[in-house]
Structure 1
């Protein structure tokens, strides 16, 4: 019988979880479950037969993730075509001898997991979907079921691929979070609008949420489409028990909500993660007296307005191509904030209202750079820009800190990997990096797009202005250039050099980076004398001090501090045509009074 015709006449019940059943049978959570179609077909057949016995109208093939990219993630090299053909054969066999119509739906997942999305090109995704769909069609499925798509562009992509290969019915299912949005941020209205223009037979939602939250999604979809709707929720929230996940939603509760889906306009109901033949049997019993509702034309809805993000003074000045003069301070050791507040007050009185707060690499107690920046900005009024490092922080901790800082008004952040303080014989032996500076930049760029580190939608987009460091004095300049380009590609919107003492390396790197069109600020830290210059030149990696500078400071003797300021002034004058601004670094051992003449000269 024709699937679309049957769908107009009666409510169809789809099966429940395949993966949950296979895991319950002892298969590892990290195994490629579609491979069982070849290695353990008896187990897969048993699951299909259990759902057929429960009374389903649609059986889905065991092919979620059965494309080359997903299989490769699990280390499987088995033929994609062989796995999918075997899956269709097992599903078709399960309906033999049954005296009612049972449709075999070819299950198609997104081409890649959310964590792999950014590293795989769209054309690679398309080819992976095309290869799998072709095998399912050749195997003899009755319809294609695109399920658990978290990003609308991928779902649209998959529908177009499938429609280009076959005229079989297509059921397109997005997945929505508890907030009612796809992980990619799209609303049910946007999903219905996009899919309504494509050749699909039905649309719906599956996975991620439980029965109650799915009801709200059904309501939203029904408002915006006249197409048949499907709903396949999870059996609530899971809890992990050893190597397994367990779900607690009982069959009668699950079936009660399935009936509500149909009463609200759904035509296909079933289950996803955590559901079993028992859940599906209860659904079949509950829906025996219901028919699909006739649908009215959806109401037109105005599109959401675009929100223009607010940025800080630095972003504004760079956009206006004004030369920037800023200062950089470090959090005082010992945990106090008064010293920094007074220092920034003096800087502001002398014309500097942009202050970078560095991250101090010290084992002593200290205020975090972000907390200090927010405190000083509130007390003084200068825009303070925090340097955020990633060492000893999980990405979830970084994300929470950044969202908190944004809520309190911080808009500009400089990203660094950072180094923990030395505490033993081996440098940084107890440092932990879940992400480095590139990962931190990607996190901030995602927050600006309205996505968290897991790709889930935020309540609102952030508006961070993202900065990154680079080092023109690096010994391996090619490696430093490659690293800097990676930061720009990740989303860095401006760059700051490490403190430099000559312009040759800076000019060489800027010549290569000019094609990136990213504003560059130069950090300058006036030398206090020959001892400091000698230490930096010989004991600190990737710092270049010209021989002429060393000789000049050695000859200066007791006038080293004064000569250091003169050298810094000459360096600034030489570099000014190359960069968009300067960051004057106040460090321990340099008095503010010595620093102020540079401010006046280059403001």
Structure 2
């Protein structure tokens, strides 16, 4: 479908995010002419475009916002207007062609003059400036014209009339609104929609100035007063000025994407971002709205291609691809950083039937090896495939990225992404740690590395081939919320799931059924109870752990009768393992206190054919 006017009425489109924000982040000052970079630094502009294409954008806006003669003249480039605009189209078109799918190129047109000069330049001169720019964009081959960030309705109307008369191209007209719900010129969404309905506009919308919540409110108002397709491109919240030289935005990707989906659900046809948004935001938006239109399944959860072939991602990915039942064991990093002790345990567990080893996150404040380091050591010394647990607490996203790239370089291919819990210590033992991202953000980071993008959405020299796992918790108190969060992890790029240890299967069955449409393999973790005391502790003192009353009753009765609580707990765990074979794609046996014999019994139950 090559015609934008047809496409915007037939399907949901994702527009790109901020160009200026990305160019500023690359070191360009706030007071320079960014469109001129089309000539002086085209590689940088191309990189930004390509990053948005990789993120899933259906529309790329040219780096020509502010490329009118009056605005360029302020920086001494008025003589280059045609060359700058044509170069802007060429760079965007090159990125669009490399996408391997339909990506529209929109010619970005700002108000002809800045707000401060509005009263100094008459309507005829403004119209002449718009005409000159749109003719250059049309001549270079844009698919549509995007008139954006117009704060005054008279200027927007005159720009629409000028562009329509000069080119005949589809026009997306976007006004900007303040937090009060009016344009800087004082017009309401109804007034904007009513005025533009009389003009040759293909779509209209709102962009810039405000964040997702206020943009949604304006879009809802516009929807009430027009039948035209709508667009919504909010800023990433409010910025803060850093050291007087640049602005920073800190709006969470998931939050931004959640409101993009709400806009789409309320009838918006184009969702994207403006100031402060990055390829990371747009990738989250594309994932969040992918299931709202069947024509977008090529970028949806179920149809997302793996970053690498299963054999490149390790044996676990290949086992899943072949439909085999996986039997794995989980061990914790030993205290004191003694790697040989862990290697001996891994060797014994492998001999008892474990196909691979999950190294859990470090726990407690004592010295111990990191999960990724120990996983690499076991692969090298024991020769068994490992899964490394990566946690986000007390790590910046840059540190996480560096750790992941290093682990991949040394051979780690399978990781489980967790938020993690800081150790209890100090005068305030329950104080939180520091998180820049949670597990969903970590999954998104790893998926980006697999696609060859860093945490800022910029291209890397190479791609990683991680097989990405995430945790889910059937024992959560709010199972609906847990399923929603698990879906968010899958949407971010998780390719398999591992449950928290389960002590009953009712909620697990329900969770598996609810997630069946995702097509993601699930490993069920089983940890044998040591007796009634532990079961009671978990049931009453540990949040989001479900231990059924029948289990508590059985353990209490058997212990009163003189039976060994550990043996009863192991028997109950074996029964869970046997029943779990029909529910999941594999079992993860938690090895506790180096009890290899107990682990061997559960591994045997996992490898016994049912019935």
Which TM-score applies when normalising by structure 2?
A: 0.55
Quick one: distance in 1 between partners of 2:432 and 2:136?
44
- Residue 584 of structure 1 aligns to a residue whose secondary structure is strand
Whether 1:84 and 2:143 are equivalent positions in the alignment is no
Residues 404, 506 of structure 1: CA spacing in aligned structure 2 closer, same or farther, 3 A cutoff? same
Where does residue 597 of structure 2 map in the other structure? 593
- Residue 466 of structure 1 aligns to a residue whose secondary structure is strand
Whether 1:332 and 2:342 are equivalent positions in the alignment is no
Quick one: distance in 1 between partners of 2:131 and 2:148?
22
Where does residue 199 of structure 1 map in the other structure? none
Where does residue 577 of structure 2 map in the other structure? 572
Quick one: distance in 1 between partners of 2:586 and 2:368?
29
Where does residue 321 of structure 1 map in the other structure? 323
Does the 8 Å CA contact 1:413/1:465 hold for their aligned counterparts? yes
Does the 8 Å CA contact 2:577/2:605 hold for their aligned counterparts? no
Quick one: distance in 2 between partners of 1:163 and 1:441?
44
- Residue 458 of structure 1 aligns to a residue whose secondary structure is coil
CA-CA distance at 1:581 after TM superposition: 0.6
Whether 1:244 and 2:245 are equivalent positions in the alignment is yes
More divergent stretch after superposition (590-599 vs 504-513): 590-599
Whether 1:48 and 2:73 are equivalent positions in the alignment is yes
Does the 8 Å CA contact 2:476/2:545 hold for their aligned counterparts? yes
Quick one: distance in 2 between partners of 1:93 and 1:142?
22
Where does residue 224 of structure 1 map in the other structure? none
- Residue 564 of structure 2 aligns to a residue whose secondary structure is helix
Where does residue 602 of structure 1 map in the other structure? 606
Whether 1:477 and 2:479 are equivalent positions in the alignment is yes
| Unpaired segments ≥5 residues, structure 1 | 1-16, 24-33, 65-80, 110-125, 145-161, 167-239, 246-305
Residues 127, 531 of structure 1: CA spacing in aligned structure 2 closer, same or farther, 3 A cutoff? farther
Where does residue 450 of structure 1 map in the other structure? 452
More divergent stretch after superposition (558-567 vs 384-393): 558-567
CA-CA distance at 1:244 after TM superposition: 2.5
- Residue 460 of structure 1 aligns to a residue whose secondary structure is coil
Does the 8 Å CA contact 1:335/1:365 hold for their aligned counterparts? yes
CA-CA distance at 1:575 after TM superposition: 2.0
CA-CA distance at 1:512 after TM superposition: 0.9
Residues 57, 316 of structure 1: CA spacing in aligned structure 2 closer, same or farther, 3 A cutoff? closer
Quick one: distance in 2 between partners of 1:241 and 1:572?
55
Residues 308, 586 of structure 1: CA spacing in aligned structure 2 closer, same or farther, 3 A cutoff? closer
Deviation string, structure 1 residues 350-373 (Cα, Å, up to 9, x no partner) = 232300000022111111100000
1:256-275 pair list within 5 angstroms: none
Residues 430, 478 of structure 1: CA spacing in aligned structure 2 closer, same or farther, 3 A cutoff? closer
- Residue 345 of structure 2 aligns to a residue whose secondary structure is helix
- Residue 340 of structure 1 aligns to a residue whose secondary structure is helix
Residues 419, 163 of structure 1: CA spacing in aligned structure 2 closer, same or farther, 3 A cutoff? farther
Does the 8 Å CA contact 1:411/1:463 hold for their aligned counterparts? yes
CA-CA distance at 1:165 after TM superposition: 3.2
- Residue 534 of structure 1 aligns to a residue whose secondary structure is helix
Where does residue 359 of structure 1 map in the other structure? 361
Where does residue 255 of structure 1 map in the other structure? none
Where does residue 4 of structure 1 map in the other structure? none
CA-CA distance at 1:567 after TM superposition: 0.6
- Residue 528 of structure 1 aligns to a residue whose secondary structure is coil
1:367-382 pair list within 5 angstroms: 367-382=369-384
CA-CA distance at 1:307 after TM superposition: 7.4
Residues 512, 426 of structure 1: CA spacing in aligned structure 2 closer, same or farther, 3 A cutoff? farther
Does the 8 Å CA contact 1:521/1:580 hold for their aligned counterparts? yes
CA-CA distance at 1:536 after TM superposition: 0.8
Quick one: distance in 2 between partners of 1:541 and 1:483?
17
Residues 319, 85 of structure 1: CA spacing in aligned structure 2 closer, same or farther, 3 A cutoff? same
Quick one: distance in 1 between partners of 2:465 and 2:75?
51
Quick one: distance in 1 between partners of 2:335 and 2:165?
66
Does the 8 Å CA contact 2:391/2:418 hold for their aligned counterparts? yes
Where does residue 556 of structure 1 map in the other structure? 558
Does the 8 Å CA contact 1:328/1:584 hold for their aligned counterparts? yes
Quick one: distance in 2 between partners of 1:524 and 1:467?
17
Does the 8 Å CA contact 2:474/2:502 hold for their aligned counterparts? yes
CA-CA distance at 1:322 after TM superposition: 0.9
Does the 8 Å CA contact 2:134/2:145 hold for their aligned counterparts? no
Quick one: distance in 1 between partners of 2:369 and 2:599?
24
CA-CA distance at 1:135 after TM superposition: 6.7
Does the 8 Å CA contact 1:18/1:47 hold for their aligned counterparts? no
Does the 8 Å CA contact 1:331/1:358 hold for their aligned counterparts? yes
CA-CA distance at 1:375 after TM superposition: 0.6
Higher radius of gyration, 1 or 2: 1
Residues 541, 517 of structure 1: CA spacing in aligned structure 2 closer, same or farther, 3 A cutoff? same
CA-CA distance at 1:452 after TM superposition: 1.0
Does the 8 Å CA contact 1:84/1:136 hold for their aligned counterparts? no
Which TM-score applies when normalising by structure 1?
A: 0.56
Where does residue 350 of structure 2 map in the other structure? 348
Quick one: distance in 2 between partners of 1:525 and 1:461?
36
Whether 1:20 and 2:22 are equivalent positions in the alignment is no
The alignment covers a number of residue pairs equal to: 381
Whether 1:488 and 2:505 are equivalent positions in the alignment is no
CA-CA distance at 1:131 after TM superposition: 5.5
Deviation string, structure 1 residues 300-333 (Cα, Å, up to 9, x no partner) = xxxxxx9757021111111111111100001012
Residues 496, 46 of structure 1: CA spacing in aligned structure 2 closer, same or farther, 3 A cutoff? closer
Whether 1:440 and 2:442 are equivalent positions in the alignment is yes
Where does residue 129 of structure 1 map in the other structure? 146
Quick one: distance in 2 between partners of 1:91 and 1:465?
58
Quick one: distance in 2 between partners of 1:92 and 1:104?
19
Quick one: distance in 1 between partners of 2:545 and 2:372?
27
1:457-468 pair list within 5 angstroms: 457-468=459-470
Where does residue 220 of structure 1 map in the other structure? none
Does the 8 Å CA contact 1:106/1:136 hold for their aligned counterparts? no
Does the 8 Å CA contact 1:370/1:387 hold for their aligned counterparts? yes
Quick one: distance in 1 between partners of 2:402 and 2:165?
43
Residues 312, 92 of structure 1: CA spacing in aligned structure 2 closer, same or farther, 3 A cutoff? farther
Quick one: distance in 2 between partners of 1:542 and 1:411?
30
Deviation string, structure 1 residues 368-422 (Cα, Å, up to 9, x no partner) = 1000000111000000101111111111111111111111111110010011011
